[in-house]
Amino acid sequence: MNTEALDWVHGALSAARFDRYRTAADGDAEVALRLYQWNIELSEAFYGPLHWLEVSLRNALNERLRRRFGRDDWWAVAPLRSNGQRKVAHAKYKIKRKEVVEPTADDIVAELTFGFWVSLLSRSNDRDFWIPALHLAFPHYSGPRDQLHHDLIRMLDLRNRIMHHEPIFDGDLTTHRERIFRLLGYLSPQVVAQVRQHDRGPEVLTRWGGAGGTGHAGRS
């Protein structure tokens, strides 16, 4: 890649951002740019399954808590920790900024972050949420809560990296993909079947090896 083209890449991506890829490509800027594009394609491939996981988890937990507390706005009476209360308040604030005059419970549920829902499965919430209600949201899971929470934390991190356009190419992508489908299976085998119909993961994961890559496909 000539100097002019490299200047263009630095202008678009910033040198600091692109250097992560150049390092992975042993200093070859042309390979690094292909690696950057592959990272985008990987992010696209993971977005769909992660979308299903986030929405399915949110709705499963919300339904169980709605039943537990006997009202759609269960957060108004549930013993949320201070961090959870702040996230609910922030969701309401974001809705208000959209000039929604009378937000519904569904509006707030949709605005709450993936991190909020995952946090409900932490150890500190065992007594108030997991034991009386949330274990029922995973009809196909019989393991310990902490392993489930650990796996979801990993998916939260992957989701955030993708949404903030960060590198994921150097992670254990095959393990990430298996974890997503395993978690979806705990919630609903029917959702797993739906997601697999449109899953581009296997195709994209194997593409780099044929593009003159850096060997990262072997780690995926």
- How many domains does one find in the chain? 1
Is 5 part of a structural domain of the chain? Answer: no
Instruction: Give the tokens for residue 136.
Output: 């029922």
pLDDT for 2 beyond 90:
no
Average pLDDT, the chain: 91
Range of the domain at 166: 44-219
What digits encode the pLDDT tens for the residues 81-93?
Answer: 999 999 999 999 9
How many angstroms separate the most distant Cα atoms in the chain? 65
Q: In the prediction, which pLDDT does 208 show?
A: 80
Residue 7 lies in a domain: no
Quote the crossing angle between the two packed helices 3-13 and 29-69, to the nearest 10°. Answer: 20
Residue 15 counted as domain residue: no
Q: Considering the domain boundaries, does residue 77 fall inside one?
A: yes
Residue 18 belongs to some domain of the structure: no
Report if residue 12 sits inside a domain.
Answer: no
